Amino acid sequence: MKGLVCAGGEATRLGELTRVTNKHLLPVGSWPMVYYPLQLLQLAGIREVLLVTGKGHAGQMIDLLGDGHLTVRGGEAPLLELDLTYKVQTQPGGIAEVVGMAEDFAGGEPIVVVLGDNIFEYSHAAAIAAWGDGGVGAQVFVKDVPDPENFGVVVYDDAGNVTDLSEKAGVVDLRYPAPPSNDAVVGLYCYPTDVFSVISSLERSSRGELEITDVNRAYAERGELSVVPVVGWWEDAGKHWQHLAEIGRMIDETGVNK
């Protein structure tokens, strides 16, 4: 397996904090935000990782992470031991577009995708590794949320099989007047080698982007999408500046990527 971290975007929700820096470089607890998804991939046994970022702050990202081999500052203990490659997304185009940018990097290998602002209490390394050892189709991770209307959620049939995905049901996806489940798809995805042909067949959405929900739906319609419930807490760290401090406190209290 190879890894991909999506670390672009303008992060307007974080206001002045991201005027001159990438949100993934902001502190969450004692680390820059981007360290957490990189550590998650490393714990799953992945060593080759592509990091896609925006053109405005690519230099800062490279200055921080270098080639992916980092030791604890002021010491010699290894912090990250990855082989990092970088690409720049010049215009916003959606998560699926970022995944499509990894085709040459993947080189015919399956790929594990993590959104750079998603942080997990547990790394789910065993589930990722098991999928890499022979999983069929794509695998996504889901969290039971109290506000499913704000997410892309999984649609199940009466037997509990995944049949579809619905993006913000009743608001964006009008096929469903209300969310068909509370299982929101979070920013951790495992894709087989044919994901790039799936992406190449997509049409852009009304906002001009290639939507990752459409990628997952393609696998669901083929009966090739499995879901894994997230254990412990999961947070999107890009919501609000106060949320960064809250996540930092959670990390101190419970640990992270366990």
3-state SS, 47-63, equals CEEEEEEECCCHHHHHH
Per-residue pLDDT, 10: 65
Each residue's pLDDT tens digit, 192-204: 999 999 999 999 9
- What is the Cα–Cα distance from 112 to 109, expressed in whole angstroms? 10
Per-residue pLDDT, 11: 63
Share of the chain above pLDDT 70, in %: 99
Give first-to-last CA distance, the chain, whole Å. 20
Q: Note down the domain range covering 154.
A: 2-254
* 258, pLDDT greater than 70: yes
> Which carries the bigger pLDDT value, residue 57 or residue 145?
145
Provide the token pair at 209. 């982007």
- What is the Cα–Cα distance from 240 to 18, expressed in whole angstroms? 11
Each residue's pLDDT tens digit, 114-161: 999 999 999 999 999 999 998 789 999 999 999 999 999 999 999 999
- What is the Cα–Cα distance from 27 to 245, expressed in whole angstroms? 9
Mean model confidence pLDDT for the chain: 93
Provide the token pair at 51. 């990091």
Predicted TM-score (pTM) of the model is 0.95
Contact 151, 184 (CB under 8 A): yes
Which residues pair with residue 183 across a beta bridge? 144
Provide the token pair at 92. 């916003």
What CATH number corresponds to the domain at position 116? 3.90.550.10
Contact 115, 206 (CB under 8 A): no
Per-residue pLDDT, 44: 97
Q: φ, ψ for residue 43 (rounded to 5)?
A: -65, -25
Structural domains of the chain, count: 1
pLDDT band at 185; cut points 50, 70, 90: very high
Any long-range contacts for 53-59 (C-beta under 8 Å, 24+ apart)? 53/7, 53/8, 53/22, 53/24, 53/86, 53/87, 53/88, 53/89, 54/8, 54/9, 54/10, 54/22, 54/88, 54/89, 54/90, 55/88, 55/89, 55/90, 56/22, 57/21, 57/22, 57/25, 58/86, 58/88
Provide the token pair at 14. 């974080």
